[in-house]
Structure 1
Amino acid sequence: MILEHRTAQAMANSETVMASAEIPKPPEQVFAALVTDEVERWWGSADTYRMVGWSADLRVGGRWSVIVRTADGKDLPARGEFLEIEAPRRIVQTRRYDWDHPTLGRRQTTVAYLLEPIVGGTRLTVCHGGFAGLTEAAAEHAEGWARVLSWLQAYVDAGSRVAA
């Protein structure tokens, strides 16, 4: 069954970003796309940045890391720790850039993914917190999460067309 999904949506207040998208794959497949090296196949675009070198120890207390490779070829490392894992329903992890992000600096934030089964796929909700006092960073990350979830939708859609 093909899921007619809505455009990915995101919003922010002064402390937290919320984003949501409907993905036409079961939660197990969406979960894998978020926490395995599959991230490198869909997270990013040629004109923005790509994720490369994904590494993760997928357990509570396990660490993850990735390189954000910008369109102009800069490598910007990011990393964090898994705080909660309830496969395939929930992931909570910390995130920290190991470089001076223009609006966030090196502040550690927390990202929670909630995967809910729906008819024809999964509703993925992202709650990204830790922006207190950084309203501009929260707004920028809201735009970023809408873009990221759209990339995930496009990746899944392209795979569905190829398999059909």
Structure 2
Amino acid sequence: MLQLSLPQAMANADTVMAFAELPASPGEVIAALVTREVERWWGSPETYLMTGWSADMRVGGSWHVTVRTADGRRLPAGGEFLEIEMPRRIVQTRRYDCHPALGRKETTVAYLFEPIDSGTRLTICHGGFDGFPDAAAEHADGWARVLGWLRQYLEQFQEV
């Protein structure tokens, strides 16, 4: 079995970049990210959980989810799909009704799915944090954690 590198993320003042090698096909990774499947793995009781996922998976279609924090707060989030090039790329907007660090500022998340021998290399470019460098740093930490959860989730379906 090939060894996968650990998920990584970094931020500058306005953009977060995150990377992970995942043990699944691009189609499986996409399904885990943009269908109700996201509720099975995105989060932990100690941090936050995703609930109520819905998406109209087409350019111009909207998506919605509620982030339930460990302290019981509910943070509705949503956005619009800007680009869908299956199975290579998805770009969507993201905005929370009231994020602790961003308020209602809209950001843009681009997912790039690249087939590799061990599965898929996922690259995420999350931009739009200009004027919110602390939020960018927070999201870099968050993406590294999320990609770890995603990898752990996908690994359970692989044969030993």
TM range (shorter): over 0.9
TM-score w.r.t. length of structure 2: 0.96
Give the C-alpha shift of residue 76 in structure 1.
Answer: 1.2
Match runs of 1:59-138 below 5 Å? 59-99=58-98, 101-138=99-136
Report the counterpart of residue 143 of structure 2 in structure 1.
Answer: 145
Give the secondary-structure state (helix, strand or coil) at the position aligned to 1:54: strand
Q: What is the RMSD computed on CA atoms of the aligned residues? A: 1.0
1:54-108 CA deviation, whole Å, 9 max, x = no partner?
0000000000000101112222100000000011110000000011x22211100
**How many residues end up aligned between the 2 structures?**
160
1:8-67 CA deviation, whole Å, 9 max, x = no partner?
100001110000000010101001111100000110011001101000000000000001
Q: Is residue 31 from structure 1 mapped to residue 35 from structure 2 by the alignment? A: no
Q: Percent identity?
A: 68
Q: Which runs of 4+ in 1 moved over 3 A?
A: none
Which residue identity does 2:101 align to in structure 1?
T
Report the counterpart of residue 14 of structure 1 in structure 2.
Answer: 13
TM-score w.r.t. length of structure 1: 0.94
Cα distance between partner residues in 2 of 1:17 and 1:106: 18
Report the counterpart of residue 4 of structure 1 in structure 2.
Answer: 3
Cα distance between partner residues in 2 of 1:147 and 1:3: 22
Cα distance between partner residues in 1 of 2:101 and 2:153: 28
Q: Is residue 41 from structure 1 mapped to residue 40 from structure 2 by the alignment? A: yes
Give the C-alpha shift of residue 117 in structure 1.
Answer: 0.3
Q: Which runs of 5+ in 2 are unaligned?
A: none
On the 8 A contact 1:3/1:24 being kept in 2, the answer is no
Cα distance between partner residues in 2 of 1:103 and 1:59: 29
